[in-house]
Structure 1
């Protein structure tokens, strides 16, 4: 038998295959837990936000060098210094975007997981409530009106995306 899960001599699992099965079950348990989902969503959001931020920063034409009242002073710098300042600006914009995407991903995934665990259901309401909480939490520093608008906007967006993703027939 060429199955790697069985040892050469008998019908039982060899030690390495048994360790692999234990490791797989442990990884699955972490990925199904709310802290695991929150951490993975935060990290993946950070990576996606960084890539998105880098792309958007590279496409910006209104960089501080162009809108700066001392633009002539910057333009008079050597090319190496101009590039250094431009790349530093791109890096800071990219990092800012990465932090924001990571925060949104972690808050949303963690909240949705807790709500799903509490309600013991997997339906549209979980994502809608998680969207409301996430939008409200992100907008809370701007005041109660912004909190309400953030809740409503993010809940509507979450509902629309979740509804689309749950459709069985995408050809309609």
Structure 2
């Protein structure tokens, strides 16, 4: 009597046959099709578990931070070309020499700023993921703690006072961003 209210348990690949939407023909899956479905489900699970690991999250954040840092530097260096104080150093140069110097400066700046942004992204994402795994919760405190640790680590060469202020500032910024991202969006149906 109670079994009519329970959700039926179906082994993947052995679902009840459903009609083909185009022909309307009911066809049972073959053993090979069932093996393919199970293999695909295992592959999806492996990819999901890999993307949830702290190493993968830190690597992806580091790469994205490097890209955005390099882009910001590229935009900034394109404005310095028109700087009147910089024009004096290019006087007397041929166009090809000037382009070579400008592109070399752009590349150095892109590498330097990309490296900095990438380090911040990887440090913060890895720290937040480790804290989330340790606490076994997904809430705003993870980002606050990760911001505190990341800010302190980034300011470690400047002394304990700078570490405290860097950690508190990064934690406040992380809390503001995370609370904005977690807000409920209005339903405008």
TM-score, structure 1 as length reference: 0.82
Provide the C-alpha distance between the structure 2 equivalents of 1:93 and 1:62, rounded to a whole number of angstroms: 16
Q: Which residue of 2 aligns with 1:132?
A: 148
Residue in 1 aligned with 2:168? 152
Q: Which residue of 2 aligns with 1:10?
A: 29
- Per-residue deviation, 1:21: 3.0
Call closer, same or farther: CA 1:137–1:86 in 2, change over 3 Å: same
From 37, 56, 65, the equivalent of 2:57 is: 37
Aligned to 2:101: 85
Partner of 2:3: none
Candidates 125, 129, 152, aligned match of 1:109 = 125
1:75–1:17 Cα change, 3 Å: farther
Name which of 159, 168, 177 aligns with 1:161. Answer: 177
> Structure 2 stretches of 5 or more lacking a match?
1-19, 22-26
TM-score between both structures, scaled by the size of structure 2: 0.75
Structure 2 Cα separation of the partners of residues 152 and 118 of structure 1: 21
Q: CA deviation at 1:10?
A: 3.1
> Within 2, Cα distance between the matches of 1:169 and 1:9?
44
Question: Please, which runs of 5 or more residues in structure 1 have no aligned partner?
Answer: 3-7
Change (3 A) 1:9 1:39: same
Higher RCO (CA < 8 A, seq sep 6+): 1
State how many pairs are aligned. 161
RMSD: 2.4
Shift of 1:149: 1.3
Greater helix percent: which structure? Answer: 1
Q: Which has the larger radius of gyration?
A: 2
Match of 2:45 in 1: 25
Correspondent of 2:67 among 47, 51, 69? 47
TM-superposed CA distance for 1:62, in Å, is 7.9
**Distance in 1 separating the partners of 2:145 and 2:81:** 38
Give matches, 1:56-95, under 5 Å: 56-60=76-80, 66=86, 71-72=88-89, 74-95=90-111
